[in-house]
């Protein structure tokens, strides 16, 4: 039985970082709906434009689009031993869709909630810079580049994504509290939810997540 790990938490809480660490440790692919949607938004198609507008506004993409993306991605061979979901599910309806998918696949689900104060998240996201060439992420407050505006890894220009602007960040957090927080309660009621304090150093957070994952797998 393959493991399916769902990492949940507000934007900026560090889900993507923890998902990458888990992927490196266990060899499970990290499936980030955010990355997939941002890639889709670069396409000059009606769907790409629609996704681009939604991301810029801080709103959520429809369940139908996300479910189609997840179903297609998890059919690939690299997901046979398990996979990590970063950014899905975000609504109770999506959680129900995921439960059905996991049952069809015969997999086992573990849900981990990463938490942090809203003020910390605003500072994390508001200071975030992304390399437009290789995708490396920096932060003006916590991990600034060696040279302002330039990626340390490839020398590419660093940009402040439209969905990381202060107004969009605040909306994203509001949308999370309105739409996604009920999913936490859904999983809490159904059992299997583990909460981890994401306001600490990355390695400390990962230690707690690792214990939750290996404990569930034991």
Catalytic residue list: 15, 90, 128, 161, 172
Task: Identify whether the C-beta of residue 127 lies closer than 8 Å to the C-beta of residue 141.
Answer: yes
Distance CA 154, CA 133 (A): 8
User: Within 13 Å and on the Cβ side, how many CA atoms surround 55?
Assistant: 20
Q: What is the DSSP letter of 162?
A: G
Which value, to the nearest 10 degrees, does the dihedral of the CA atoms of residues 208, 192, 96, 21 take?
Answer: 20
Listing DSSP states for 176-201 in one string gives IIIIIHHHHHHHHHHS-EEEEETTS-
- Closest CA relative to residue 175, chosen from 13, 49, 62, 59: 59
- Cα-to-chain-centroid distance, residue 151: 22
């Amino acid at each position: 039985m393959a493991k399916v790990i769902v990492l949940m938490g507000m934007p900026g809480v560090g889900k993507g970082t923890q998902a990458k660490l888990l992927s490196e440790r266990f060899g499970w692919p990290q499936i980030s709906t955010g990355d997939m949607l941002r890639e889709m938004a670069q396409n000059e198609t009606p769907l790409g434009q629609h996704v681009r507008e939604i991301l810029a506004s801080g709103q959520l993409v429809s369940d139908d689009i996300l479910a189609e993306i997840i179903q297609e991605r998890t059919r690939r061979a690299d997901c046979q031993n398990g996979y990590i979901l970063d950014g899905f599910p975000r609504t109770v309806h999506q959680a129900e869709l995921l439960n059905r998918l996991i049952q069809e696949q015969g997999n086992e689900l573990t849900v981990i909630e990463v938490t942090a104060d809203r003020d910390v998240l605003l500072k994390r996201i508001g200071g975030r810079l992304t390399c437009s060439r290789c995708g490396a992420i920096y932060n003006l407050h916590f991990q600034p580049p060696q040279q302002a505006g330039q990626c340390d890894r490839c020398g590419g220009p660093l940009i402040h994504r439209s969905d990381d602007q202060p107004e969009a960040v605040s909306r994203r957090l509001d949308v999370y509290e309105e739409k996604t927080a009920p999913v936490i309660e859904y999983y809490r009621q159904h059992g299997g939810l583990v909460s981890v304090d994401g306001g600490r150093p990355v390695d400390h957070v990962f230690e707690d997540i690792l214990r939750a994952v290996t404990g569930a797998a034991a």
